[in-house]
């Protein structure tokens, strides 16, 4: 009998335990099964689908070095994936399938059903730096606040280190075969070519980040006009690069980072810990994927959900420049700076009183780095319905956020050319200036007033908090 590796959100050679085991046991075939109907149901962004396409072609070339052919199979939904997989395995005399686990609910249910098709599924956990379920409090439960989770996470990694699978050795001779991959998805397509492939990222971008940008990360990561972040989130989202690999590289580069919270490189490690935190949350609370609020008291909030407000937010026409520029960045590039994700999410939920689930879905439909656990965790954090030590009464002021993190308006002018001539001291809320200079038609009015919106939000949430 033969063996097979089934790639899903693990499109990589580096730190891929399923691939290592498959190579060890002589597997010569691999598959990727696209499911456009399921992707649509899960709001997969077309730009992320394109990034997946491009990485499949890269993976096909890389797998040749191991004598493994990659075949692209087409299905519609996850149920069809299993019948498609079973048919392929039957035709090729395959009885064992190697996979890396997926955390989300539909994916977990799908994998549990593989045995019905007389296939042996051998699965590995590699999606988090610390294995899922290995960090719990004294009562054996998941931490409900980030800070104690972080302390436990650091203690675990200090004791156990970070396990990373090295790429398997190339074969000395590679046998040719007739299988080929047709990387064409029956799915909407948005070009992602301005994002390099992961092989280039690992060989050039990551080393350059550690060498030239990491020491400035803490000071620059919140400034959207600068390229101060690592830019690795799209690759983490599709599994083209793994967080374990990045954490291990950071520890090798800065061994003290695990023991000093004030280490200049700790703030980047902290972002990786946040990523683990949200995935561990989803592991312990799988109902989060069903749209449930983590804090149950907010589940029945009667959101006003003004459609006109939501449309203005989606189009970047709220009248608050930093919010509008951030939404334009998302619409034009498929990505948004992390600080701005918090600002626009707070604005949608706290200023406009629109259900966080509406924003969560819109993000997934457009983000090249859309990842359910991080996206859900971030939206519930902003909405005050999730795991947070400071719940509903944290309301970002979009004007002061703009003054603090885009003081000269460089980011605003880039994505809002309508305001290119507005002086910096007026750029953050330009309405009075534009009226005085007879240019009011250049920019749309603010759809809400900040002070009143804040009071309305407090009153709205307090009803559920009594």
Which alpha helices (H) appear in 316-389, and where do they start and end? 321-333, 338-346, 356-366, 372-383
Query: Bridge partners of 429?
Result: none
Number of separate helices (H) and strands (E) present in the chain: 21, 5
Query: Known catalytic residue: 356?
Result: yes
State the DSSP code for 46.
Answer: H
* Active-site residue identified among 303, 306, 403, 444: 303
> Is 271 among the residues known to form the active site?
yes
Residue 100: its H or E element: strand 94-100
Closest C-alpha among 424, 373, 380, 378 to residue 402: 424
If we measure between CA atoms, which residue out of 356, 354, 357 comes closest to residue 311?
354
**Token pair of 255, please?**
């061994």
Q: How far is CA 141 from CA 125, 152, 260, 284, in A?
A: 20, 13, 26, 8
> Which residue of the set 165, 271, 360, 418 is catalytic?
271
* Pair 63, 70: CB distance under 8 Å: yes
Helix (H) or strand (E) holding 273: helix 266-284
Looking up tokens 């994927």 gives 289
Q: Are 350 and 457 in contact (CB under 8 A)?
A: yes
Does the annotation count 379 as an active-site position? yes
3-state secondary structure of 80: helix
Catalytic residue status for 397: no
Nearest partner of 45 among 330, 338, 327, 364, judged by Cα: 364
Give yes or no for a contact between 243 and 163, defined as CB atoms under 8 angstroms apart.
no
How far, in Å, CA of 112 to CA of 383, rounded?
34
Chain centre distance of CA 358:
17
| Closest among 37, 35, 34 to 181, alpha carbons compared | 34
DSSP string covering 181-248: -----SS-----TTSPPHHHIIIIIHHHIIIIIGGGHHHHTT-TTS--S---HHHHHHTSS-HHHHHH
Out of 153, 313, 356, 381, which one is annotated catalytic? 356
Work out whether the CA dihedral 406, 408, 409, 413 comes out positive or negative: negative
Q: Do 345 and 378 contact (CB within 8 A), yes or no?
A: yes
CB atoms closer than 10 angstroms to residue 167 = 16
Question: Catalytic pick from 338, 403, 410, 444?
Answer: 338
Give which of 439, 391, 390 is closest to 419, Cα–Cα. 439
In 3D space, the residue among 333, 316, 334 whose CA is nearest the CA of residue 325 turns out to be 316
For residue 34, the cross-strand partners are: 74
Q: Which residues are catalytic?
A: 271, 274, 303, 338, 356, 379
């Amino acid at each position: 009998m033969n063996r097979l590796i089934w790639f899903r959100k693990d499109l990589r050679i580096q730190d891929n335990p399923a691939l290592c085991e498959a190579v060890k046991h002589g597997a010569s075939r691999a598959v990727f099964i696209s499911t456009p109907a399921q992707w649509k149901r899960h709001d997969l962004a077309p730009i992320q689908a394109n990034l997946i396409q491009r990485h499949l072609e890269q993976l096909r070339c890389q797998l040749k070095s191991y004598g493994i052919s990659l075949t692209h199979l087409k299905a519609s939904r996850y149920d069809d994936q299993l019948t498609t997989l079973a048919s392929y395995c039957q035709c090729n005399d395959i009885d064992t399938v190697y996979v890396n686990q997926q955390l989300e609910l539909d994916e977990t249910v799908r994998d549990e059903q593989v045995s019905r098709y007389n296939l042996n599924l051998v699965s590995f956990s590699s999606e988090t730096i610390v294995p899922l379920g290995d960090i719990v409090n004294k009562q054996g439960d998941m931490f409900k606040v980030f800070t104690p989770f972080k302390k436990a996470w650091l203690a675990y990694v200090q004791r156990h280190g970070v396990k990373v699978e090295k790429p398997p050795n190339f074969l000395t001779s590679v046998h040719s075969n007739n299988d080929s991959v047709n990387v064409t998805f029956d799915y909407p397509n948005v070009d992602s070519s301005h994002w390099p492939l992961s092989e280039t990222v690992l060989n050039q971008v990551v080393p350059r980040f550690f060498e030239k940008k990491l020491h400035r990360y803490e000071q620059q990561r919140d400034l959207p006009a600068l390229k101060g972040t690592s830019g690795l989130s799209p690759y983490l989202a599709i599994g083209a690069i793994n967080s374990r690999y990045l954490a291990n590289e950071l520890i090798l580069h800065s061994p003290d980072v695990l023991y000093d919270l004030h280490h200049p490189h700790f703030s980047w490690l902290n972002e990786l810990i946040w990523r683990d935190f949200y995935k561990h949350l989803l592991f312990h609370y799988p109902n989060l994927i069903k749209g449930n609020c983590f804090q149950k008291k907010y589940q029945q909030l009667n959101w006003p959900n003004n459609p006109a407000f939501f449309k203005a937010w989606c189009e970047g026409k709220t009248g608050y420049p930093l919010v509008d520029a951030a939404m334009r960045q998302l619409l034009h590039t498929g990505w948004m700076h992390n600080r701005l994700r918090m600002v626009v999410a707070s604005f949608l939920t706290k200023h406009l009183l629109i259900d966080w689930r509406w924003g969560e879905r819109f993000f997934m439909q457009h983000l090249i780095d859309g990842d359910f656990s991080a996206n859900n965790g971030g939206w519930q954090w902003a909405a005050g319905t999730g795991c947070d030590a400071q719940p509903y009464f944290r309301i970002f002021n979009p004007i002061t956020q703009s003054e603090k993190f885009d003081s000269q308006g460089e980011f605003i002018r880039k994505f809002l050319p309508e305001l290119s001539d507005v002086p910096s001291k007026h750029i953050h809320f330009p309405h009075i200036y534009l009226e005085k200079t007879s240019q009011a038609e250049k920019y749309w009015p603010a759809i809400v007033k900040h002070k009143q919106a804040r009071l309305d939000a407090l009153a709205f949430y307090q009803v559920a908090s009594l």
